Amino acid sequence: MLRRLAPVVLAFSLVGGCAAGHSRDYAPVRERVVGEHVFAMGYARISEIYLDPVDLRRLTLDGLSGLTKLDPAVSLAVTGTTLEVRTDGRMVGAFDLPVRGDDPAAWATLTARAAERLRASSPVLAATDTDAVYQAIFDGIIADLDSYSRYTGGQRAVDERSQREGYGGIGVAVRHDETRHEITEVLIGGPAESAGLRAGDLILAIDGTPTARLTTEEVGERLRGPAGSLVTLTVGRSPKEGRRLSVRRDRVIPSTVVAHAEDGVGYLQVDRFNAATAPNLRAAVRRLRAELGQRARGFVLDLRGNPGGLLDQAVAVADIFIPGGRIISTRGRHPDSMQVFDARPDDEAGGLPLVVLIDGRSASAAEIVAAALQDSGRAALVGSSSFGKGSVQTVTRLPNDGELFLTWSRIYAPSGYTLHRQGVQPTVCTSLPALDVNAALRTVRLGGMLPAATLLSWRIRAPEDEIALAQLRETCPWKEHAPDLDLQVAKALLGDPPLYREALLRAPTAVAERQDAATAGVGLATSATREGQGSERRP
């Protein structure tokens, strides 16, 4: 099954915005108007939904200061209520600061006009691509926010959207070797497979244009197009054996799921969460259950190295296995950020034992799935502490076709702890020195890595206590180790039902929840006030 179709990143739906062509093509006045709209939408979204209150004056000044990274000769100075912009120390413009500090449109107008004046007076900025100017200003703005908020412009934004939402194409991955463009993978069920294309085929021409002198990017651009349109290819197993065929493009969403069965175990690897992850995983679980039949001993869900993706897909993946109950809750400053997500009363895996593999690169949506499965008692976790990205970002598509990612809420596991910085702790740690399968499993038989009360105390204190946070993270710190160890431990658990059941009881959050007296009045549990769906969010 195809795992990646392009060297770009993950996926989710969009919030607001409208599309426009690249602003570099507009006349200066038109460009300034577009800039005002871009910054007005950006400032308005930051003011409205960002996790913490913001100071628009500071954001504006820091954003314009970002232009100094493009041209160090540019500088700003505030005198009273006036902003002076300078080039080589010479004032080239003066602008009144907005009277109201909470007026996004006024601050956006100031940003666009000051940037326009600086571009008119700075040869460096005048020669700089408009997308790069937007990037520099937004980088300055975003520097005042958290590390997960960001702005993406230009072609990168287009590529990221393709990976998240899909694109019009034929569903192939292509490798460039000197003058040869070889298909390395074909998306199962995609247009290319339906047309008979196979891995190893060479793409010799696209719509009559030979590919020998084209780059991989140029080949990709020519293969893409509106869904429903036709592309004519010349393909062959060698350059001398070409045949022509037409392929009708369709919406292609890169596959993120790889599945196979071995020795009664269904192995499911998810490398990120895009718009097709949950339905593809659900289909894989059903297929493996049918294939294994009575021989099925359980499933291994591999989330190692998974950087995350769409919130709604993380919730839907957890829902595949959890037969009811809380999956996660989120809380932020905006009322709509107060959400709870609950599972439906079904389990596609039929209650078969489940082991989830995590490591220090498992982040965001992957951590949501791991925490939900652990807290519900549905899975034993094997590996190391996860990354600790416990926040949700919304994505706003701006009028220049760029995207603004803003953190708007924190994520809370069903047992109440925040994933932010803490991450998820495994049931069985495999990253400590000199561990083998028997040593790793011995901790389960002995009752866990640490006393339950100690882990609970660190969980409660960690959000505000750096020492407690460090102690918690050090219980199973992520270190590179042989990946086979995780799989061997997972197989051992699935092959020993009593030990697997003991592992479920030894999970850090499971033992914490049994400490009713310890948690009374401490406020470990959290609540959310508004149910909602997260299709417009990225954790």
Helix (H) or strand (E) holding 108: helix 104-121
Tell me how crowded residue 91 is: count the other CB atoms within 10 A of its CB: 12
C-beta separation of 387 from 360 below 8 A: yes
Residue the block writes with tokens 């247009």: 191
Residue 336, judged by CB atoms within 10 A of its CB (0-12, 13-18, 19+), counts as middle
3-state DSSP call for residue 451? coil
The C-alpha atoms of residue 112 and residue 32 are separated, in whole angstroms, by 6
- Cα maximum dimension of the chain: 81
66: left (phi over 0), alpha (psi -120 to 50) or beta: alpha
φ, ψ at 87 (rounded to 5°): -130, 125
Q: If we measure between CA atoms, which residue out of 133, 165, 137, 157 comes closest to residue 12?
A: 165
H runs (alpha helix) in 323-434: 365-375
Tell me how crowded residue 294 is: count the other CB atoms within 10 A of its CB: 5
Instruction: Please report, as a single letter, which amino acid is at residue 19.
Output: A
For 110-135, b/e burial (b = at least 16 CB within 10 A) is bbbbbbbbbbebbeebeebebbebbb
The C-alpha atoms of residue 33 and residue 438 are separated, in whole angstroms, by 66
C-beta separation of 312 from 272 below 8 A: no
The C-alpha atoms of residue 428 and residue 446 are separated, in whole angstroms, by 12
Query: Known catalytic residues?
Result: 364, 375, 389
3-state DSSP call for residue 15? strand
The C-alpha atoms of residue 434 and residue 70 are separated, in whole angstroms, by 50
Residue 74, judged by CB atoms within 10 A of its CB (0-12, 13-18, 19+), counts as buried
Q: What is the DSSP string of 293-323?
A: GGG--EEEEE-TT---B-HHHHHHHHHHH-E
Q: What is the DSSP string of 415-439?
A: TS-B-TTT----SEE--STT--HHH
